[in-house]
Chain A
């Protein structure tokens, strides 16, 4: 059974700070890693995905992957109150047919 773990939070950061969200996974064969943002009452929205070890940057967001440690993270630079949401890590390892979501981390950016 694949497992994906995240700190449930809430993680509180001041506006303008860097928010760091972490995710670990159990299946060493996992290939693809995704970060979703979910506002209360809304459906998940894809932020970014990463496949290779290292960093991937997209605007204020940076995803980091370390397959040896089975660890993926999301950094949000210059955090804004509008970033306050639940962030879901998802892991896939079977050509798209085996998506597993973590429990999510609730982020609160304080003005």
Chain B
């Protein structure tokens, strides 16, 4: 499976500011995904990021709040904009496996605390 890294691993931010999270993969992948995992909760898909097209957002998530870039097949960024304490979560990127079997592999996550 691909090796996935995320930066930063954690951050503490003030409300009203924005944070950009980077996701780097060691091989080219078509599908990349961004998830949020709130404390004690399961994973919720924010959006699907395909190279060369606009990200597809899930219900409840909007581009103005979570803009995503996907400039190439190994890299993506998620920005959390105008943050509030409710945005405190772990943000995870994932990539789809290459065998046509749709499994996803996750990066280590970014732990965000908004004060």
Contact = CB atoms under 8 A, between A and B. Distances in A.
Interface of A: 32, 34, 42-46, 49, 51, 88, 90, 92, 95-97, 99-104
A109 B53 CA distance: 45
A102 B105 contact: no
Nearest to A95: B102
B31 A96 contact: yes
B42 A104 contact: yes
Interface of B: 1, 31, 33, 41-45, 48, 56, 92, 96, 101-109
A88 B101 contact: no
A43 B109 contact: yes
A103 B41 contact: yes
Contact of A96 (B102, B106, B109): B102
Q: Main secondary structure on chain B at its contact with chain A?
A: strand
A51 B31 CA distance: 20
Nearest to B108: A43
Given A34-B103, A46-B103, A88 B108 contact: no
11 contacts: A34-B103, A34-B104, A46-B103, A97-B48, A99-B33, A99-B45, A100-B45, A101-B43, A101-B44, A102-B42, A103-B42
Contacts of B44: 101
Contacts of A97: 31, 48, 56
